[in-house]
Amino acid sequence: MTYRYATFSLALLALAEIGHAQCTFTPTIQPPAPILCPDESINLATEPYDAYQWYKDGSPIPGATAQTLPVSYMLDAGSTFTVGATLSGCTEMSASTLVDGWMFLPPYVMHGGDEPLNPEPPLQFCQGDTLLLTLSPGWTHNIIWTNNGAPIANESSPTLVITTPGSYTVSAATETCPNYVLGIGVSVDVNFIPPMQPAIVDLGTEICPYPMGNSTQWYLNGQPYSTEDCITPSAPGPYTVFVDYGQPCQVTSEPWLATGITDREQQQFIAAPVPADRMVSITWPGVLQPQGTWRLTDMSGRTVKSGAFPARGSLALDVQSLLPGTYMLRCTDRSWRPLRIVVAH
């Protein structure tokens, strides 16, 4: 009995298999194994049949009875799909297909170029320095750099050269998903500080930097020449001076050219005493025609006093209220050389 029962069961199973194999078609799903971009949606489709039922992860999808099925990265990436197709009363299941999705690390920027003066934002640079911002590898398409929220014209390469202040950021896409544009999520705030640059003032018998600072280094033809505040040129050639103002951004002066060394003419103004405590007497040769006006400036260029010259004699300049330091007296309506005045209380 046991043998006959087993034989009968096997016969029934064989008949079932024969009945199942009566469908002469096997549905397929197109596209096979798609990989979607994060912003992408597509339609899965099968061949034309009489009826359809789509399945997601083995469970029927309610209402999914059309020849196509819309799927998206956000809702369906990582799931498998099959479709049951019916033709002339015979139903056959397709093989499963995986809907996958591309995943990307967010873009970021790398800093290059000159070192900033400070490690924390906003980044500080000296005027004339260069900051390079370079996108992380792979983000090479649809690049848009912005400064203060506005797109920067003609800037679509992975590296941006920055020489002006602003708030910079960037968005871009990958070659795989060129329409999926993603920003770095932060702005890089940058500031450029104008450097302090001394001017060289010709005082007749000597040349001096203006304004003066903590220390002075003169150069002749690019070679160190003197560390005095003021010098009397002793040889022809270009003279430059570097003054330490105790600031991070400092540059050497423009060159002052001595074409020949002769007896230099006397300065047009003479100040006494040097240094002065209360009063300074300013004298000059000849007559001022017409009478000129003057201003006294501190080392930052700020005017601290002003007035008019008498036609003859001398100018008595009261410096009691001034802080100790170096000042420059200038004739505002004549091209006379400035006069250095030193105040010491």
DSSP 102-139: ---PPP-EEEEESPPS-SSSSEEEETT--EEEEEPTTE
Q: Delimit the domains of the chain by residue range.
A: 19-101, 109-193, 199-258, 270-343
Helix locations, 2-153, DSSP H: 2-20, 73-76
Q: Flag whether pLDDT at 103 surpasses 60.
A: yes
Report pLDDT for 48.
97
Report pLDDT for 155.
95
Q: How far apart are CA 7 and CA 9, in angstroms?
A: 5
Cβ(117)–Cβ(110) under 8 Å? no
Asked, as a colleague might, if the bond just before 178 is cis with ω within 30 of 0, I would say: no
Report pLDDT for 234.
86
pLDDT digits (tens, 9 = 90+) for 51-70: 999 999 999 999 999 999 99
At the second CATH level, the architecture of 19-101 is Sandwich (2.60)
Q: Is the dihedral of CA 144, 145, 147, 153 positive or negative?
A: negative
Cβ(199)–Cβ(340) under 8 Å? no
Q: Flag whether pLDDT at 13 surpasses 50.
A: no
Lowest-pLDDT range of 53-57, 108-112, 244-248: 244-248
Q: How far apart are CA 195 and CA 223, in angstroms?
A: 22
More confident position, 162 or 276: 162
Report pLDDT for 271.
85
Q: Averaged over 5-14, what is the pLDDT? A: 32
Report pLDDT for 288.
60
SS3 11: helix
**Distance, CA of 165 to chain centre:** 8
CATH superfamily of 109-193: Immunoglobulins (2.60.40.10)
**Domains 109-193 and 270-343 are alike in CATH topology:** yes
Q: Flag whether pLDDT at 317 surpasses 70.
A: yes
| Model confidence band, residue 192 (pLDDT cutoffs 50, 70, 90) | very high
Burial 328-339 (b: 16+ CB within 10 A, else e): bbbbeeeebbbb
pLDDT over 70 percentage in the chain: 87
Report pLDDT for 87.
96
Choices 3.40.50.1000, 2.60.120.620, 2.60.40.1220, 3.40.50.720: CATH for 270-343? 2.60.40.1220
More confident position, 264 or 133: 133
